[in-house]
Structure 1
Amino acid sequence: MSDSDYLTRAEAVLAAIERTLDTTQVDIEFERSGNVLTLEFENKSKIIVNLQPPMREIWIAAKAGGFHFRLIDGAWRDTRGGTEFFAALSDYATQQAGEPLHFAL
Protein backbone atom coordinates (compact mmCIF):
# COMPACT_ATOMS: atom_id res chain seq x y z
CA MET A 1 0.00 0.00 0.00
CA SER A 2 1.37 3.39 -0.95
CA ASP A 3 1.55 6.31 1.48
CA SER A 4 -1.18 8.04 -0.50
CA ASP A 5 -3.46 4.98 -0.35
CA TYR A 6 -2.88 4.64 3.40
CA LEU A 7 -3.75 8.29 4.02
CA THR A 8 -6.89 8.11 1.88
CA ARG A 9 -8.15 5.00 3.69
CA ALA A 10 -7.15 6.20 7.17
CA GLU A 11 -8.71 9.64 6.65
CA ALA A 12 -11.95 7.89 5.62
CA VAL A 13 -11.94 6.16 9.02
CA LEU A 14 -11.61 9.45 10.91
CA ALA A 15 -14.30 11.05 8.74
CA ALA A 16 -16.68 8.14 9.44
CA ILE A 17 -16.12 8.52 13.19
CA GLU A 18 -16.81 12.26 12.98
CA ARG A 19 -20.02 11.66 10.99
CA THR A 20 -21.26 9.23 13.64
CA LEU A 21 -20.42 11.65 16.44
CA ASP A 22 -22.24 14.48 14.62
CA THR A 23 -25.46 12.43 14.52
CA THR A 24 -25.44 10.50 17.81
CA GLN A 25 -27.67 11.40 20.73
CA VAL A 26 -24.94 10.37 23.17
CA ASP A 27 -23.14 13.30 24.81
CA ILE A 28 -19.61 13.12 23.39
CA GLU A 29 -17.41 16.11 22.68
CA PHE A 30 -14.80 15.60 19.99
CA GLU A 31 -11.90 17.51 18.57
CA ARG A 32 -9.70 16.84 15.57
CA SER A 33 -6.14 18.12 15.43
CA GLY A 34 -4.30 16.90 12.36
CA ASN A 35 -4.13 13.11 12.49
CA VAL A 36 -5.54 12.91 16.04
CA LEU A 37 -9.22 12.65 16.96
CA THR A 38 -10.07 12.98 20.66
CA LEU A 39 -13.46 11.87 22.00
CA GLU A 40 -14.39 13.11 25.47
CA PHE A 41 -17.31 11.48 27.25
CA GLU A 42 -19.65 12.97 29.84
CA ASN A 43 -17.68 11.23 32.62
CA LYS A 44 -14.52 13.03 31.35
CA SER A 45 -12.91 9.81 30.09
CA LYS A 46 -11.37 9.97 26.63
CA ILE A 47 -10.70 7.84 23.61
CA ILE A 48 -7.95 9.00 21.29
CA VAL A 49 -7.77 7.76 17.71
CA ASN A 50 -4.67 8.68 15.80
CA LEU A 51 -3.11 7.88 12.49
CA GLN A 52 0.42 6.50 12.41
CA PRO A 53 1.62 7.03 8.81
CA PRO A 54 5.16 5.65 9.34
CA MET A 55 3.65 2.37 10.56
CA ARG A 56 0.60 2.57 8.24
CA GLU A 57 -1.60 1.92 11.27
CA ILE A 58 -4.44 3.53 13.20
CA TRP A 59 -4.09 3.53 16.98
CA ILE A 60 -6.77 3.71 19.66
CA ALA A 61 -6.08 4.69 23.26
CA ALA A 62 -9.06 3.96 25.53
CA LYS A 63 -9.71 2.94 29.13
CA ALA A 64 -9.51 -0.65 27.87
CA GLY A 65 -5.92 -0.08 26.73
CA GLY A 66 -3.89 0.81 23.66
CA PHE A 67 -4.57 -0.90 20.34
CA HIS A 68 -2.91 -0.85 16.92
CA PHE A 69 -4.87 -1.54 13.73
CA ARG A 70 -3.44 -2.40 10.32
CA LEU A 71 -5.27 -2.77 7.00
CA ILE A 72 -5.53 -6.51 6.31
CA ASP A 73 -7.64 -7.88 3.45
CA GLY A 74 -9.59 -4.62 3.19
CA ALA A 75 -10.39 -4.23 6.91
CA TRP A 76 -8.56 -2.46 9.71
CA ARG A 77 -7.63 -5.24 12.15
CA ASP A 78 -6.09 -5.22 15.62
CA THR A 79 -2.50 -6.38 15.23
CA ARG A 80 -2.78 -8.58 18.33
CA GLY A 81 -6.29 -10.04 18.37
CA GLY A 82 -7.58 -9.41 14.86
CA THR A 83 -10.67 -7.49 16.01
CA GLU A 84 -12.10 -5.19 13.34
CA PHE A 85 -11.52 -1.47 14.06
CA PHE A 86 -15.12 -0.22 14.09
CA ALA A 87 -16.33 -3.16 16.19
CA ALA A 88 -13.57 -2.45 18.71
CA LEU A 89 -14.22 1.31 18.76
CA SER A 90 -17.96 0.71 19.21
CA ASP A 91 -17.23 -1.57 22.17
CA TYR A 92 -14.77 0.82 23.85
CA ALA A 93 -17.02 3.84 23.32
CA THR A 94 -20.08 1.97 24.63
CA GLN A 95 -18.13 1.02 27.75
CA GLN A 96 -17.00 4.59 28.37
CA ALA A 97 -20.32 6.27 27.48
CA GLY A 98 -22.46 3.81 29.40
CA GLU A 99 -24.81 3.77 26.39
CA PRO A 100 -24.75 1.83 23.13
CA LEU A 101 -22.70 3.39 20.35
CA HIS A 102 -22.13 1.97 16.88
CA PHE A 103 -19.43 3.15 14.52
CA ALA A 104 -19.08 1.97 10.92
CA LEU A 105 -17.36 3.04 7.72
Structure 2
Amino acid sequence: MSVTKGLVKVIKLEELKPQIGKEVQVLDQTIAIFRLTNDEVRAVSNRCPHKNGPLAEGIVSGEFVFCPLHDWKISLTTGEVQKPDNGCITTYETAVIDGYVYIGEPIQHEKHDPSR
Protein backbone atom coordinates (compact mmCIF):
# COMPACT_ATOMS: atom_id res chain seq x y z
CA MET A 1 0.00 0.00 0.00
CA SER A 2 1.56 3.30 -1.04
CA VAL A 3 0.74 6.81 0.18
CA THR A 4 0.79 9.87 -2.10
CA LYS A 5 -0.04 13.34 -0.71
CA GLY A 6 -2.35 11.94 1.97
CA LEU A 7 -3.95 9.47 -0.45
CA VAL A 8 -3.51 5.72 -0.10
CA LYS A 9 -3.35 3.56 -3.26
CA VAL A 10 -5.78 0.67 -2.79
CA ILE A 11 -6.71 -1.03 -6.07
CA LYS A 12 -6.59 -0.83 -9.86
CA LEU A 13 -9.73 0.83 -11.23
CA GLU A 14 -10.20 -2.04 -13.70
CA GLU A 15 -10.52 -4.45 -10.74
CA LEU A 16 -13.66 -2.64 -9.57
CA LYS A 17 -16.75 -3.78 -11.41
CA PRO A 18 -19.44 -1.09 -11.80
CA GLN A 19 -22.05 -1.22 -9.02
CA ILE A 20 -20.24 -4.02 -7.14
CA GLY A 21 -18.70 -3.12 -3.79
CA LYS A 22 -15.27 -4.16 -2.59
CA GLU A 23 -13.99 -4.17 0.99
CA VAL A 24 -10.51 -2.74 1.54
CA GLN A 25 -8.43 -2.08 4.62
CA VAL A 26 -6.87 1.39 4.80
CA LEU A 27 -4.69 1.86 7.85
CA ASP A 28 -7.06 0.93 10.70
CA GLN A 29 -10.32 1.44 8.76
CA THR A 30 -12.43 -1.10 6.86
CA ILE A 31 -13.82 0.76 3.86
CA ALA A 32 -16.28 -0.19 1.12
CA ILE A 33 -15.43 1.19 -2.30
CA PHE A 34 -17.79 1.36 -5.25
CA ARG A 35 -17.38 2.17 -8.93
CA LEU A 36 -20.54 3.83 -10.20
CA THR A 37 -21.87 3.38 -13.74
CA ASN A 38 -20.38 6.77 -14.70
CA ASP A 39 -16.94 5.47 -13.54
CA GLU A 40 -16.84 7.74 -10.49
CA VAL A 41 -15.57 6.02 -7.35
CA ARG A 42 -17.08 6.37 -3.88
CA ALA A 43 -15.68 5.16 -0.56
CA VAL A 44 -17.61 4.80 2.70
CA SER A 45 -17.17 3.05 6.02
CA ASN A 46 -18.12 -0.59 5.48
CA ARG A 47 -20.63 -0.90 8.31
CA CYS A 48 -24.28 0.13 8.26
CA PRO A 49 -25.19 2.26 11.30
CA HIS A 50 -28.24 0.06 11.96
CA LYS A 51 -26.86 -3.44 12.62
CA ASN A 52 -23.31 -3.23 11.22
CA GLY A 53 -24.23 -4.85 7.90
CA PRO A 54 -21.30 -5.12 5.45
CA LEU A 55 -22.07 -2.38 2.92
CA ALA A 56 -19.55 -3.72 0.38
CA GLU A 57 -22.00 -6.62 -0.05
CA GLY A 58 -24.97 -4.29 -0.59
CA ILE A 59 -26.87 -3.55 -3.78
CA VAL A 60 -25.96 -0.31 -5.55
CA SER A 61 -28.57 1.79 -7.35
CA GLY A 62 -27.45 5.13 -8.72
CA GLU A 63 -25.49 6.85 -5.95
CA PHE A 64 -26.99 4.76 -3.15
CA VAL A 65 -26.13 1.45 -1.52
CA PHE A 66 -28.75 -0.75 0.14
CA CYS A 67 -27.56 -2.57 3.25
CA PRO A 68 -27.70 -6.35 2.68
CA LEU A 69 -29.15 -6.99 6.15
CA HIS A 70 -32.21 -4.74 6.39
CA ASP A 71 -32.24 -2.76 3.12
CA TRP A 72 -31.35 0.63 4.61
CA LYS A 73 -30.72 3.08 1.75
CA ILE A 74 -27.50 5.08 2.21
CA SER A 75 -26.06 7.85 0.05
CA LEU A 76 -22.60 7.03 -1.28
CA THR A 77 -21.97 10.77 -1.64
CA THR A 78 -23.00 12.14 1.77
CA GLY A 79 -23.21 8.98 3.89
CA GLU A 80 -26.72 9.91 5.00
CA VAL A 81 -29.25 7.17 5.61
CA GLN A 82 -32.42 7.96 3.67
CA LYS A 83 -35.86 8.41 5.24
CA PRO A 84 -37.78 6.90 6.92
CA ASP A 85 -34.60 5.60 8.62
CA ASN A 86 -31.88 7.89 9.93
CA GLY A 87 -28.19 7.86 10.62
CA CYS A 88 -24.95 8.57 8.82
CA ILE A 89 -21.73 6.82 7.86
CA THR A 90 -18.29 8.21 7.07
CA THR A 91 -17.46 8.98 3.44
CA TYR A 92 -13.91 9.29 2.16
CA GLU A 93 -12.13 11.36 -0.46
CA THR A 94 -11.31 9.31 -3.57
CA ALA A 95 -9.12 9.89 -6.61
CA VAL A 96 -8.24 7.88 -9.69
CA ILE A 97 -4.63 8.48 -10.73
CA ASP A 98 -2.95 6.58 -13.56
CA GLY A 99 -5.57 3.83 -13.40
CA TYR A 100 -5.38 3.31 -9.63
CA VAL A 101 -7.96 4.17 -6.98
CA TYR A 102 -6.71 6.18 -4.01
CA ILE A 103 -8.57 6.83 -0.76
CA GLY A 104 -7.94 9.90 1.35
CA GLU A 105 -9.26 11.64 4.42
CA PRO A 106 -12.85 11.42 5.67
CA ILE A 107 -15.07 14.08 4.09
CA GLN A 108 -16.77 16.55 6.43
CA HIS A 109 -20.38 17.03 5.27
CA GLU A 110 -22.79 19.65 6.54
CA LYS A 111 -25.22 18.07 8.94
CA HIS A 112 -28.75 17.89 7.57
CA ASP A 113 -31.34 19.33 9.95
CA PRO A 114 -34.55 17.30 9.40
CA SER A 115 -36.59 19.89 11.36
CA ARG A 116 -36.15 22.50 8.58
TM-score, normalization by structure 2: 0.29
Larger Rg: 2
Query: Larger % of helix: which?
Result: 1
